[in-house]
């Protein structure tokens, strides 16, 4: 039983799954081994591999570049936020350490208020004594003019 070789190859290209069985059935095992080796070499030839690698890089590189620029901008924003948080934390820590200074300021303000009240009270007494003295003098002048 002799089969047409062109039929065999067309069947081979149409049905990949049964290629090995067909080759074993129709050809000698040495021919089958050589054919399988040739197909393997053609499928894994270095130039084909480099072409596939080039195509993969060409398709995926723009997306990777975009991801890189996005990550860099996010890193810059994160660094700015981290700096702001660290600055705020140091400000809060310095405020907790400054409670002694605020207590000192509170004491000084209380002293200033009490001194102001003392000055106001002493000026109020002087004014009253001056006013009462003026009334005395004004009353005498007024009564003597009659």
Residues 5 and 22: beta-carbon distance below 8 Å: no
Clarify whether residues 105 and 93 are in a common domain.
no
Clarify whether residues 33 and 21 are in a common domain.
yes
Clarify whether residues 109 and 83 are in a common domain.
no
Clarify whether residues 34 and 63 are in a common domain.
no
Clarify whether residues 34 and 7 are in a common domain.
yes
pLDDT at 51: 84
pLDDT at 92: 86
pLDDT at 49: 76
Measured CA distances, 121 to 110, 129, 134 (Å): 16, 12, 20
Across the 146 residues of the chain, what is the mean pLDDT of every consecutive 10-residue run?
Answer: 52 55 59 76 75 89 94 95 93 82 93 94 77 58 48
Clarify whether residues 93 and 115 are in a common domain.
no
Clarify whether residues 78 and 111 are in a common domain.
no
Clarify whether residues 90 and 109 are in a common domain.
no
pLDDT at 102: 86
Clarify whether residues 132 and 109 are in a common domain.
yes
pLDDT at 146: 43
Q: How many domains does the chain have?
A: 3
pTM above the 0.95 mark? no
DSSP string covering 33-77, please?
HHHHHHHHHHHT-HHHHHHHHHHHHHHHHHHHHHHHHHHHHHHHH
Query: Coil, strand, or helix at residue 100?
Result: helix
Query: Which domain covers residue 130, as residue numbers?
Result: 101-146
């Amino acid at each position: 039983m002799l089969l047409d070789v062109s039929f065999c190859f067309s069947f081979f290209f149409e049905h990949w799954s049964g290629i090995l069985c067909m080759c074993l059935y129709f050809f000698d095992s040495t021919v089958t081994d050589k054919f399988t080796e040739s197909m393997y070499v053609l499928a894994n030839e270095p130039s084909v591999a480099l072409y596939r690698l080039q195509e993969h890089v060409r398709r995926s590189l723009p997306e990777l570049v975009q991801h890189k620029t996005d990550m860099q901008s996010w890193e810059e924003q994160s660094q700015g936020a981290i700096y702001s948080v660290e600055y705020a934390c140091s400000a809060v820590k310095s405020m907790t350490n400054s409670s002694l200074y605020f207590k000192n300021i509170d004491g000084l303000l209380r002293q200033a208020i009490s001194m102001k009240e003392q000055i106001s009270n002493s000026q109020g007494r002087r004014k009253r004594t001056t006013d009462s003295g003026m009334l005395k003098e004004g009353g005498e002048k007024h009564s003597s003019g009659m």
